[in-house]
Amino acid sequence: MTIDVTLLGTGSPLPSPDRAGPATLVRAGGLNFLFDTGRAVNMRLAASGVVPPMLTAILLTHLHSDHITDLNDMITGRWVMSPEPNPLPITGPVGTSGVVDAILAMLEPDIGYRLAHHEDLNVGPEPVVTDVDGGVVFDQGGVRIVAAATDHRPVEPTLGYRVEHDGAVVVIGGDGVPCAGLDELCAGADVYVQTVLREDLVRQIPFQRFLDTIDYHSTVQQAADTAQRAGVKKLVFTHQVPAPAPGTEAEWIALAADIFSGEIVMGIDLTTVSTA
């Protein structure tokens, strides 16, 4: 059996007409897992053939705004598109429950409108939130998901995830720099999805707020080193900073290929890779 990974959104906080916000769909054993919920995630989900009621769970790597921009859309979409009550499991780092509570408060007028309008809606949205700091966060239907702390300081806590199914392994690294938790997750993985940054390009832009991104994102070379050290088979770049100029993709791959001997995938929205 294989695990399929679809990059729903490969963008950064800077708006792009071509790249939605950070979000990744992992399909394993007939189950659908959504990692992060960046802008336009619902549109990209639809393009991949999945709608919110079909999600098994949402798992968040961290609470940076660009990774949770459309979490409210997932909560509302799950609720109004499901013919029967359909609680939405949401797992994330400590603090996630507070964010979801705030989203529900923001949605309070909308929830009231819909309950008043639709006789078959008797209860509001039902997100079921679990704050975690690591360990096994899902183990059903032959799919096991393990979380571990990552390093995206000063953003903390943050998590990466390892999805295991029938001997296949996918790792969602999220944002952040190399660390022991990431090494543990990536050990022997078939596919490793990682946010990457080109330090040489970022340093060409004399704006301190942008230069600060170097502090807490893996460079292309660092991601390649993590993958090589862990024995990963496929390294997938997502959430590239800055967004690659058309025709420069080979440059990014070449920087990694000097370090990593496996397959390298330069992700764009709706890129799909598998563990096969």
Catalytic residues: 66
Residue type for 249, please?
E
Cα torsion 159, 141, 32, 163 to 10°: value is: 30
Give the count of beta carbons closer than 10 Å to the beta carbon of residue 5.
Answer: 29
CB 252 within 8 A of CB 246: no
Distance CA 179, CA 70 (A): 28
CB 202 within 8 A of CB 241: yes
CA-nearest of 219, 199, 222 to 210 is 199
Distance CA 193, CA 134 (A): 18
DSSP track, 239-265: EEESPPPTT-HHHHHHHHHTT--SEEE
Contacts for 154 with CB less than 8 Å, ≥ 6 apart: 216
Distance CA 227, CA 171 (A): 11
